[in-house]
Amino acid sequence: MAHLEITALGACYGKVAVLDDVSLSVERGELVGIVGPSGSGKSTLLRALVGLVPPTAGTVVLDGHAVDYANALSLRAMRDQTAIVFQQYNFFQNMNVLENLTVAPVKIRGRNRSETEKEARALLARVGLADKEKAYPDELSGGQQQRVAIARALVLKPAVVLLDEVTAALDPELVRDVMDVVQDLARDGITMLLVSHEMGFIREAAHRVVMMDAGRVVEVGPPAQIFGDAQQERTRAFMSRIIRH
């Protein structure tokens, strides 16, 4: 049974359809890269999965349980197992790093504060930021903020991590730091969906790649297929432009 089964998912911004008949099956522990031109619906797919953009059609089954996006309890159960890391980090600016990591597990999920803080510190050490727990988000560099954002996602012990263009706002030299962390997670067997323009990284780390365009899935396959032997003309056109530039 797939860990995450998306079937014929649709979503709209107002009256504009931004996802149309998207289907994807993700195995447990799989790292799936999502590529495609801007506006193709990659980020919207992740936002729809966590209910930030409510799906208007289709079904999502996580770990054998269908998600009812109109039902608060069902949505909460889904969000308990899923963490999303945003391109712009989305920190609570008035909380320091440690508070940003612990506010949800302690205040929302009622976990023990000292244990959670211990776990949070361990995660900060894992992403190389053990000395930044008292810093505020605006005191960190872009790469540091993104690594803290990943640690914040992990402290919730998610079964699925959604990464939305996590390197898009970073200087090229900082991209490697963040990607190292992502690759480290992949080795831990966390199921991940990664939206990114870092084609080299996706080619190297992803188990499968999804090519999207105009809100639809154009092609799904292993990196070797998508990057070297695409079956669809749209994928070939996209990849040739990427390679040319």
Partner 1 sequence: MTYSLQFGQIMRDIPYILGGAWPTLWLTFVIFFAAAALGLFIALVRLRGGPVTSRLAGLWVTLTTNSPLFVILFFLFNGLPNCGILLSPIAATLIAFIAISSGYLAEIQRGGIQSVRQSELDAAETLGMSRWQTVRHVIARHVIKTVSPALSNFFIFTMLGTSMASLVGVNELTGRAIEVTSRTFRSIEVFSIVAIAYVVLSLAASMALALVGRMLFRVRMRVV
Which CB, 25 or 90, lies closer to partner 1? Answer: 90
CB atoms within 10 A of CB 168: 15
- The owner of tokens 């432009």 is 241
Q: Which tokens is 127 given?
A: 């992403």
CA gap 198, 179 in Å, rounded = 9
25: region left, alpha or beta (phi > 0 left; psi from -120 to 50 alpha):
beta
| CB of 60 vs partner 1, minimal distance in Å | 15
Q: Helix/strand/coil (H, E, C) string of 40-57?
A: CCHHHHHHHHCCCCCCCE
Which CB, 91 or 227, lies closer to partner 1? Answer: 91
| CB of 51 vs partner 1, minimal distance in Å | 8
Which CB, 79 or 197, lies closer to partner 1? Answer: 79
| CB of 107 vs partner 1, minimal distance in Å | 6
CA gap 34, 196 in Å, rounded = 7
| CB of 142 vs partner 1, minimal distance in Å | 15
Which CB, 12 or 77, lies closer to partner 1? Answer: 77
CB of 75 within 8 A of CB of 68? yes
Q: Which tokens is 105 given?
A: 């597990």
| CB of 103 vs partner 1, minimal distance in Å | 6
Half-sphere exposure of 43 (CA within 13 A, CB side): 14
Which CB, 48 or 226, lies closer to partner 1? Answer: 48
| CB of 154 vs partner 1, minimal distance in Å | 13
Residues forming the site for partner 1 (CB under 8 A):
50-52, 76, 79-80, 82-84, 86, 88-95, 103-104, 107-109, 136, 156
Which CB, 137 or 143, lies closer to partner 1? Answer: 137
Which CB, 32 or 84, lies closer to partner 1? Answer: 84
CA gap 198, 196 in Å, rounded = 5
| CB of 203 vs partner 1, minimal distance in Å | 29
Strand ranges for the chain from DSSP E:
4-13, 16-26, 31-35, 57-62, 65-66, 82-85, 160-164, 191-195, 208-213, 216-221
